[in-house]
Amino acid sequence: MASDQIFFEGEQAHQVEMVPGVRRRTLGHGSQMLLAEFVLAAGSEVPTHSHPHDQVGYVLRGSMQLTVGEETQLC
């Protein structure tokens, strides 16, 4: 995440396809946080992974199954 830009519209943020069907726009970042918009195609999967800091998210449309540790929930 090389940009030092502070203010911008979400559409200006560079979009990347992380894995097939999963797109991310990084909207802001710091040493302990990342703010990103994710768009997931129906049926897509994000591989199991971890983060060095806390994560917060919400589902704007649709639903997704999310697993944290041993707990899985439909969001």
Domain-embedded: residue 49 = yes
In order along its 75 residues, the chain shows pLDDT tens digits of: 456 666 767 778 889 999 999 999 988 888 888 888 999 999 999 999 988 888 888 899 999 999 988 999 999
Domain-embedded: residue 69 = yes
| Confidence (pLDDT) at 62 | 95
Q: pLDDT above 70 covers what percent of the chain?
A: 89
Domain-embedded: residue 2 = no
Domain-embedded: residue 52 = yes
**Domain region containing 21:** 10-74
CA angle, residues 7, 14, 47, in degrees to nearest 5: 120
Whose tokens are 């703010």? That residue is: 35
| Confidence (pLDDT) at 18 | 95
| Confidence (pLDDT) at 31 | 83
Domain-embedded: residue 42 = yes
| Confidence (pLDDT) at 6 | 67
Domain-embedded: residue 4 = no
Domain-embedded: residue 58 = yes
| Confidence (pLDDT) at 26 | 87
**In this structure, what are the phi and psi dihedrals at residue 71, rounded to the nearest 5 degrees?**
-100, 130
